């Protein structure tokens, strides 16, 4: 009599029922760690970008966007067309170079003005300055002809006579420019520029010397 075949048995269960769960948990933890690393990197990128933007804004506000008052000065006397320097008869035509120094990151547009020249408080000359502009980060040079003509009242002034005889005549020049600084075609600010210079006219050497401007 044939023996009955035993039914096929089911596969044996793993020795550790939690092995598969541990592997999945490990993969899940690894994925979470990668996501945390990515979030940290993005956070660092964002912080670095914010710091960079702040630095750019500070740089622009301290340099490019800062409005500075230009400087208006007498630079030199290029030449003399007439030079009659006597106590009783004084007439000097001086070709003078003026300078408007603009250190802003935008042009300085100014209106008409006049430069006045004095000898110890007495006006002896003037020159007209037409409206124009000084370009950004540039010094605009103006070549002008100044006629220094002493009034007859100085002829009897002993101080005037002594200065003429000494060969050195102390002069001062004053002026005021009024205009606007324009930065990036959007930001505008009014600025007035004062000239206040002292100098010596060396009669024997026919030179303008010791020019100092505030």
CATH class of the region 71-213: mainly beta
Average pLDDT over residues 113-139: 97
pLDDT at 206 exceeding the cut of 80? yes
For the segment 42-96, what is each residue's pLDDT rounded down to a tens digit? 888 888 888 877 776 666 666 667 899 999 999 999 999 999 999 999 999 999 9
Q: How confident is the model at residue 8 (pLDDT cuts 50, 70, 90)?
A: low
Q: In whole angstroms, what is the distance from residue 142 CA to residue 128 CA? A: 11
- Domains of the chain, residue spans: 23-65, 71-213
Q: Given this model, what pLDDT does residue 32 score?
A: 77
First to last CA, the chain: 132
Q: How many CB atoms within 10 Å of residue 52? A: 10
- The secondary structure of 90-156 as a DSSP string is EEEEEEEEEEEEE-SSS-EEE--EEEEEEETTEEEEEEEE--EEE-TTEEEEEEEEEEEE--GGGGG
Q: Given this model, what pLDDT does residue 64 score?
A: 63
């Amino acid at each position: 009599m044939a023996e009955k075949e035993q039914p096929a048995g089911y596969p044996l269960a793993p020795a550790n029922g939690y092995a598969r769960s541990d592997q999945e948990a490990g993969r899940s933890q690894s994925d979470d760690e990668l996501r945390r690393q990515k979030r940290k990197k993005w956070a660092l990128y964002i912080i670095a970008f914010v710091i960079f933007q702040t630095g750019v804004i500070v740089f622009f506000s301290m340099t490019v966007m800062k409005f500075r008052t230009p400087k208006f000065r007498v630079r030199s006397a290029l030449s003399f067309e007439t030079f009659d320097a006597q106590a009783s008869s004084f007439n000097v035509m001086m070709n003078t170079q003026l300078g408007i120094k603009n250190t802003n990151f935008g042009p300085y547009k100014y209106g008409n003005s006049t430069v006045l020249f004095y000898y110890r408080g007495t006006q002896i000359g003037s020159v007209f300055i037409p409206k124009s502009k000084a370009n950004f980060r540039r010094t605009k040079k103006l070549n002008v002809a100044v006629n220094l003509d002493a009034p007859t009242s100085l002829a009897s002034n002993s101080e005037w006579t002594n200065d003429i005889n000494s060969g050195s005549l102390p002069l001062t020049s004053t002026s005021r420019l009024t205009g606007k600084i324009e930065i990036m075609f959007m930001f505008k600010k009014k600025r007035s520029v004062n000239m206040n210079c002292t100098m010596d006219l060396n009669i024997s050497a026919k030179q303008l010397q010791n020019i100092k401007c505030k």
